[in-house]
Amino acid sequence: MTTPTFDSLFDIRDRVVVVTGASSGIGRMLAHGLTAVGAKVVLAARRENRLRDLVAEIAKELGEDGRAVPVACDISDDAGRARLVDQAVREFGGIDGLVNNAGISGSGLPATRQSTAEFREVLEVDLVAPFDLAKRCLVSMRERGGGSIVNVTSTAAVTTTGTGIPQAAYCAAKAGLAHLTRELAVQWGRYLVRVNAFAPGFFATEMTELMTDADGMPPDWLTVRQAIKGSAGAADALGTVQFLLSDASRFVTGQHIVVDGGQTIT
């Protein structure tokens, strides 16, 4: 029996990975990171101009075209999700990985003032869309003998946020996505399709811009609960997601990996 090397375990070169919410934040970090390690990435977001700029940046960094394909679509729409998966299969012949990263947080209003319509909208984007995309990608993954789905949740799936920013819909959606991850892992293990979740803590992104201090640090009410002070960065997202997409995690499924500097354990 040949002992696998470190490099071979984490190697995802030429694997086809769909990343939603790729035009900003963690999705953008993953777009750069996954292509840099050799994956073929299908990048989905609503803002077509930002996607095209991102693909041009990646091509310039790598010195080649074709590693990243932009698909402008609205994942809250059935037709948009269908088109995303169809185009990924047309471009690269199949799908090996899905990173359900796209999400919205809502207005931040207390539950007494949050409309039911907004509550539904957040669940549609953050929970229903990942479920439907996972089912659609499963078809190709089964044909290819397996695959990996990574659902991006949040520390809001683990702890409440109401003492800082009220987010009833967001907490409900992300907690639901965390448990959906476990259920799909149980149902789809027979197909060698693994389903795991990555729960980011504070990353300095567009979504957290209003909370970020001038020095890039999270607000005091967050840092006081962190064992490791500071803000997470691109390497923290890539390290977790690459592990979950690679053979290094071939026997890992149904897990919820929190990357938060220890915030949720205090």
Residues annotated as catalytic are 170
Helices and strands (DSSP H and E) totals, the chain: 9, 7
Structure tokens at 171: 């907490």
Q: How far apart are CA 168 and CA 237, in angstroms?
A: 25
Phi, psi angle pair for 251, to nearest 5° = -110, 20
SS3 content of the chain, % helix, strand, coil (to 5): 50, 15, 35
Amino acid at 171: C
Separation of CA 129 from chain center? 12
Please report, in angstroms and rounded to a whole number, the separation of the first and last CA atoms in the chain: 43
CB neighbours of residue 114 within 10 Å? 18
